[in-house]
């Protein structure tokens, strides 16, 4: 789960930029936390650095490629978290489309100008019992297959799904082809269209 992370930084006297080795240490920490994205923000909550997973999650919340600002919904949550006293606070930001939410946890950074905050992001698939009941009735899919279908619908790649489910990429491909066969669709795009149609 998202949790507070302590950073030990060494900043050269008079330097207003973070040493690249520190950025690499942050990224390493982020990648070790499977499924989470990390954004490092400046004092105005502009994006200084983000991991690929964070970019994906921010895109689902409305950020366009190349945008150096957090979406307004995330900015409000981060400001509120940084102003509060509960360092373990995690807030949910609903994804506009797709039965999911993004969990947001902000950690203030001190003495590492220009960075002000580290923002951890993790996607949470919301239960969609009605959609699952429909798919189970029509296509006889299992809860695990439904979870796989929801991950596909969220736009995750096979590699990301494999990391999320702790499987190999080739196993994910096998499971996806079984799911396509069960649902009577030829491709990933057709599966997403099917899920969108039944979720209306």
The residue-averaged pLDDT of 186-190 equals 92
pLDDT tens, position by position, 99-134: 678 889 998 888 777 888 889 888 876 667 788 888
Q: Indicate yes or no: pTM above 0.85.
A: no
Q: Which residues contact 11 (CB under 8 A, 6 or more apart)?
A: 18, 19, 111, 112, 113
CATH topology of domain 20-125: Beta-Lactamase (3.30.450)
The span from the CA of 109 to the CA of 7, in Å, is 8
For range 62-91, the mean pLDDT: 87
Confidence check: pLDDT of 63 > 60? yes
Give residue-wise pLDDT tens across range 30-42: 554 557 888 889 9
Percentage of the chain beyond pLDDT 70 is: 78
32 compared with 156, residue with greater pLDDT: 156
For residue 62, the model assigns a pLDDT of: 81
Please tell me the predicted confidence (pLDDT) of residue 3.
37
3 state DSSP class of 175: helix
> Distance (Å, rounded) from C-alpha 106 to C-alpha 19?
21
- What does the chain come to in residues? 200
Residue 185: predicted pLDDT: 95
Kindly tell me if the per-residue pLDDT of 75 is higher than 50: yes
How much is the average pLDDT of 54-63? 84
Pairing of strands 100-108, 91-94: antiparallel
Percent of the chain with pLDDT over 90: 22
Question: What's the pLDDT score for residue 27?
Answer: 60
Confidence of residue 16 (pLDDT cuts 50, 70, 90): low
Going by the DSSP 8-state scheme, the letter that residue 69 receives in this structure is B
pLDDT bin (cut points 50, 70, 90) of residue 29 is: low
pLDDT over threshold 70, residue 59: yes
SS3 71: coil
Q: What number does CATH give the domain 129-199?
A: 1.10.10.10
Question: Is the pLDDT confidence value at 6 over 50?
Answer: no
What are the sequence ranges of the domains in the chain? 20-125, 129-199
């Amino acid at each position: 789960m998202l949790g507070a992370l302590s950073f030990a930084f060494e900043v050269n006297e008079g330097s207003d930029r973070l040493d690249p080795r520190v950025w690499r240490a942050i990224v390493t920490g982020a990648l070790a936390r499977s499924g989470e994205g990390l954004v490092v923000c400046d004092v105005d909550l502009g994006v200084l650095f983000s991991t690929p997973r964070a970019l994906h999650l921010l895109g689902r919340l409305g950020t366009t490629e190349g945008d150096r600002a957090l979406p307004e919904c995330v900015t409000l949550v981060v400001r509120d978290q940084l102003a509060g006293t509960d360092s373990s606070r995690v807030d949910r930001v609903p994804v506009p489309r797709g039965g999911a939410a993004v969990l947001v946890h902000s950690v203030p950074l001190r003495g590492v100008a220009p960075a002000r905050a580290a923002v951890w992001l993790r996607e949470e698939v919301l239960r969609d019992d009605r959609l699952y009941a429909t798919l189970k009735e029509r296509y006889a899919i299992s809860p695990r297959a439904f979870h796989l279908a929801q991950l596909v619908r969220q736009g995750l790649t096979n590699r990301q799904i494999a990391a999320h489910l702790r499987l190999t990429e080739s196993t994910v491909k096998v499971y996806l082809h079984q799911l396509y066969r069960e649902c009577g669709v030829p491709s990933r795009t057709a599966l997403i269209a099917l899920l969108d149609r039944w979720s209306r």
